[in-house]
Amino acid sequence: MHVEGLREIETGVTTKIVAFLRELGLEVQPGPILEATSLPGIRVQGGVLRFDPEKLSFPGDLLHEAGHLAVKLPAERQRAMADMGSDPAEEMMAIGWSYAACLYLGLPPETVFHAEGYRGGADSMLTNFARGRYLALPMLQWVGLTLDEKRAKEAGIAPYPHMLRWLRLEPTPE
């Protein structure tokens, strides 16, 4: 496929992802990003997911960064800045969240697990998720976003990658 045709496909995927994220209530703003970023063309500032359409290498990276925002408590989400990949548990939840979002949107898993992602480990991610080895499932369940097979069966609903909700809520007082 020629570059122009590939760019049109990527633009359509980006549009679909941005619409989904906005439906969830996440603020997403296109515009120029002049500074260096950990993911090309993406920056989070004050809980706003900004992206530069000219520099965005992989639309699925938007889902990954949105996953970081989604698994934060609402107050933390509003204060989120720049590189959000420093907490290993949150990183795993963002990976699991982005995979579920990808499937929900009808996109192939390679959208988030692309060849240049995860420090060369995208193939391993694809294999593990395809075989039902969901590294973040216990944490996503713990924060109230989804259920594993056993708990979903007890509740009579679909298990992960089906999501109960897409954004983490404030914890309820016990």
**pLDDT (tens digit per residue) in 106-147:** 999 999 999 888 877 899 999 999 999 998 999 999 999 999
Residue 91 has pLDDT above 70, yes or no: yes
How high is the pLDDT of residue 25?
96
How high is the pLDDT of residue 42?
94
Structure tokens at 156: 């009579």
**60 touches 111 (CB < 8 A):** yes
pLDDT greater at residue 36 or residue 149: 149
Locate the domains of the chain by residue range: 3-114
Q: How far is CA 171 from the centre of its chain?
A: 21
Residue 10 has pLDDT above 80, yes or no: no
What's the whole-number average pLDDT of the chain? 89
> Which residue, among 77, 67, 92, has the nearest Cα to 163 in the 3D structure?
67
- What is the average per-residue pLDDT within 135-161? 96
How high is the pLDDT of residue 85?
60
Residue 6 has pLDDT above 70, yes or no: no
Residue 3 has pLDDT above 60, yes or no: no
Task: Write the DSSP symbol of residue 109.
Answer: G
Structure tokens at 20: 């989904």
pLDDT confidence band for 172 (50 / 70 / 90) = low
How high is the pLDDT of residue 2?
36
**133 touches 95 (CB < 8 A):** no
122 burial level (CB within 10 Å; 0-12, 13-18, 19+): middle
**101 touches 71 (CB < 8 A):** no
